[in-house]
Chain A
Amino acid sequence: MGMTMTQKILAKHAGLSSVKAGQLIEGKLDLVLGNDITTPVAITEFDKAGLTRIFDKEKIAIVLDHYTPCKDIKAAQLCAKARAFAKRFDLTHFYDVGQMGVEHALIPEKGLAAPGEAIVGADSHTCTYGALGAFSTGVGSTDMAAAMATGSLWFKVPQAIKVTLTGTPGTYVSGKDVVLHLIGEIGVDGALYQSLEFTGDGVAQLTMDDRFTIANMAIEAGAKNGIFPVDEQTRAYLKDKVDRPWEAVDADSDAVYTREVVIDLSALRPTVALPHLPSNTKTVDEVAGMEIQQVVIGSCTNGRLKDLAEAAGILKGKRVAPGVRCIVLPATQKIYLDAMARGYLETFITAGCAVSTPTCGPCLGGHMGVLADGERAVSTTNRNFVGRMGPVSSEIILASPAVAAASAVAGCLADPEKIVRGEQ
């Protein structure tokens, strides 16, 4: 029986010639990742278990990105704990304020993820690296502790849903619209315990940044991982970043899928998810005009250069509407510099946006843009759960950078095309 991309990667990392769905395996890991919220808990468990050694100081990455630059004393203590651990084991890939970025934008940028690799991270959006054809998945802190010590973890080999992408997306349709549409179709547990395996001629029409956004939100459909095939764009992306050997995997022609979802990219409209589930999707045409008080453009989902380019394209020469706060967070220092060189930051600041150093901050209601009672934000982040960005009465509408920027200009949820044409 044929294997999916994910199954092939897991088989190889378990030292097996083949695996089948449902099989429990012990898989070797190419990278173990943690952040400033999950790593301190992993360190506590690591110490409590009497562990004293790590498996490979080159293969553990710690990124202090969630509450940083530290928002309060307690957050600072967590960072101090992670910092001391990184120093104790002389970790090569420790990223502190000044070097750090939002982890899932930073890791690929630093060349720490490559096709065919198996990666775990104590952060649910670790599934992002599937955009590069890697198996990557989120785990908890105890898993992180065990993985740091042993370099391996147990996995249940997942079944897969085949997502076939066709056609070419329209001007204001991006990876975010694709993934929100998909989650709306299959639901927040539509891919529970399964892989989302993307394929089809539409993949070539999506930039790497679009693919990162799509793989990033696989978890929002309950998926274990999302994964893309490797093509010329992937190779071009990896060229100056990864110099170790890597091996791309393709799904077997007789791989078994539980179902197939076909998405015609040319038929998609800018799509948003209304409160309080990522599956509560509407096209912007259906819900434009909803009042908002804040716009957030950034995060591991949409803080990359293409995202900022799209937002800047709409905000250029315009102003953020009175009564709206627009916060832009480039996801890494490199993206920040690139956005500066291209004039995007000037566009944002001139338009009345606040531009922040990289941080996850507002996405999880941590800092840098927490909402008040009854306020509503349009946000390019990934979750719109109750209380995610503020009190339980606050609301989040998930959207693409283009829709978020258009909404900042309009002062309400808006269609980017209409804003660009000056119709709204």
Chain B
Amino acid sequence: MAKVYQYGNNVDTDVIIPARYLNAPDEKSLASHCMEDIDPDFAGSVEPGDIIVGGANFGCGSSREHAPLAIKSCGVRCVIAASFARIFYRNSINIGFPILECPEAVASIHAGDQVTVDFSTGIIKNETTGRTFQAAPFPAFINGIIESGGLLKSLKARGIAK
């Protein structure tokens, strides 16, 4: 079951993936430096299916898509946060990486808890405490992008791109 990595408010894109590594934007390189400046042990210990829980304004700062890409490339299943900075929010949706906004869940999930997430319903369950939470639902339009697997694939699905 998924491990939880917990961070505070205002986790910025510079700590998610420092600019000194943006000269190599391949997924493997980004993953190997993910969260390096806030949690040097993260990249070495994260396993596919793990979950990141953040506070308010997660992903603030630079527009670098490398940030959600780095997290996604580590195999992280989703980020649950009290709120997201808007460019990080857009970028995650656009690359088909699930994010959930749910302050209540963030307040009662702790590092080491076992957490399961149902993206179709937005229900987050803390298996350790037995409590469940309902994340804010995405509008249908945005759900369409996520379900297509990202913005460019959704353009194809809508016949806008070839």
Q: Considering the chains assembled together, what is the distance between the CA atoms of A20 and B138 in angstroms? A: 18
Interface residue? B19 (CB, 8 A): yes
Q: For residues 113 through 148 of chain A, which have their beta carbon under 8 Å from a beta carbon of chain B?
A: 121-124, 126, 138-143, 145-146
B83 touches A192 (CB 8 A): yes
A143 touches B94 (CB 8 A): yes
Q: Considering the chains assembled together, what is the distance between the CA atoms of A127 and B57 in angstroms? A: 18
Interface residue? B65 (CB, 8 A): yes
Per-position binary interface string of chain A over residues 385-419, scored 1 when its CB falls under 8 Å from any chain B CB and 0 otherwise: 11110001000000000000000000000000000
Interface residues on A, range: 35 or more
B65 touches A50 (CB 8 A): no
Interface residue? B64 (CB, 8 A): yes
Q: For residues 123 through 162 of chain B, which have their beta carbon under 8 Å from a beta carbon of chain A?
A: 139, 141-142, 150-153, 155-156, 160-162
Q: For residues 49 through 79 of chain A, which have their beta carbon under 8 Å from a beta carbon of chain B?
A: 49-52, 66-67, 71-72, 74-75, 78
CB-CB under 8 A from A150, the residues of chain B are 155, 160-161
Interface residue? B41 (CB, 8 A): no
Q: Considering the chains assembled together, what is the distance between the CA atoms of A388 and B156 in angstroms? A: 37
Selected interface stretch from B7-15, B72-80, B103-111, B114-122: B7-15
B14 touches A141 (CB 8 A): no
Selected interface stretch from A35-43, A199-207, A238-246, A347-355: A35-43
Interface residues on B, range: 35 or more
B23 touches A78 (CB 8 A): yes
> Shortest CB–CB separation between residue A150 and chain B, in angstroms?
6
In the complex, what residue of chain A is closest to B20 when comparing beta carbons?
A365
In the complex, what residue of chain A is closest to B95 when comparing beta carbons?
A142
CB-CB under 8 A from B61, the residues of chain A are 124, 219, 383, 385
A192 touches B91 (CB 8 A): no
Per-position binary interface string of chain B over residues 47-80, scored 1 when its CB falls under 8 Å from any chain A CB and 0 otherwise: 0000000001100111111100100000000000
B91 touches A193 (CB 8 A): no
Q: Considering the chains assembled together, what is the distance between the CA atoms of A267 and B110 in angstroms? A: 44
Interface residue? B90 (CB, 8 A): yes
Q: For residues 365 through 397 of chain A, which have their beta carbon under 8 Å from a beta carbon of chain B?
A: 365-366, 383, 385-388, 392
Interface residue? A329 (CB, 8 A): no
In the complex, what residue of chain A is closest to B92 when comparing beta carbons?
A140
Q: Considering the chains assembled together, what is the distance between the CA atoms of A15 and B99 in angstroms? A: 31
Q: Considering the chains assembled together, what is the distance between the CA atoms of A37 and B95 in angstroms? A: 17
CB-CB under 8 A from B161, the residues of chain A are 49-51, 146, 149-150
A146 touches B152 (CB 8 A): yes
CB-CB under 8 A from A122, the residues of chain B are 63, 65
Interface residue? B18 (CB, 8 A): yes
Q: Considering the chains assembled together, what is the distance between the CA atoms of A146 and B63 in angstroms? A: 16
CB-CB under 8 A from A41, the residues of chain B are 25, 65-66, 69
> Shortest CB–CB separation between residue B157 and chain A, in angstroms?
11
CB-CB under 8 A from A298, the residues of chain B are none
CB-CB under 8 A from A74, the residues of chain B are 23-24
> Shortest CB–CB separation between residue B19 and chain A, in angstroms?
4
Interface residue? A285 (CB, 8 A): no
Selected contact of A67 from candidates B23, B38, B94, CB within 8 Å? B23
Interface residue? B86 (CB, 8 A): yes
> Shortest CB–CB separation between residue A208 and chain B, in angstroms?
24
Selected contact of A140 from candidates B22, B60, B63, B153, CB within 8 Å? B63
CB-CB under 8 A from A126, the residues of chain B are 63
Contact status of A366 and B19, CB under 8 A, knowing A41-B25, A124-B62, A385-B12: yes
Q: For residues 205 through 253 of chain A, which have their beta carbon under 8 Å from a beta carbon of chain B?
A: 219, 222, 224
A37 touches B151 (CB 8 A): no
Q: Considering the chains assembled together, what is the distance between the CA atoms of A276 and B156 in angstroms? A: 42
Q: Considering the chains assembled together, what is the distance between the CA atoms of A423 and B85 in angstroms? A: 43
CB-CB under 8 A from A222, the residues of chain B are 57, 60, 85-86
CB-CB under 8 A from A52, the residues of chain B are 162
CB-CB under 8 A from A88, the residues of chain B are none
Query: Could you name 20 residue pairs across A and B whose Cβ atoms are closer than 8 Å?
Result: A38-B64, A41-B66, A45-B152, A50-B161, A51-B161, A124-B61, A139-B87, A140-B95, A142-B91, A142-B94, A143-B151, A150-B155, A150-B160, A188-B10, A189-B85, A222-B60, A277-B10, A383-B62, A387-B15, A387-B18
7 smallest beta-carbon distances between A and B, as pairs: A140-B91, A140-B65, A74-B23, A189-B57, A49-B152, A387-B37, A142-B94
Q: A50-B156, A141-B91, A387-B15 are in contact. List 6 more A-B contacts (CB 8 A).
A: A24-B139, A41-B69, A72-B23, A140-B95, A189-B57, A366-B20
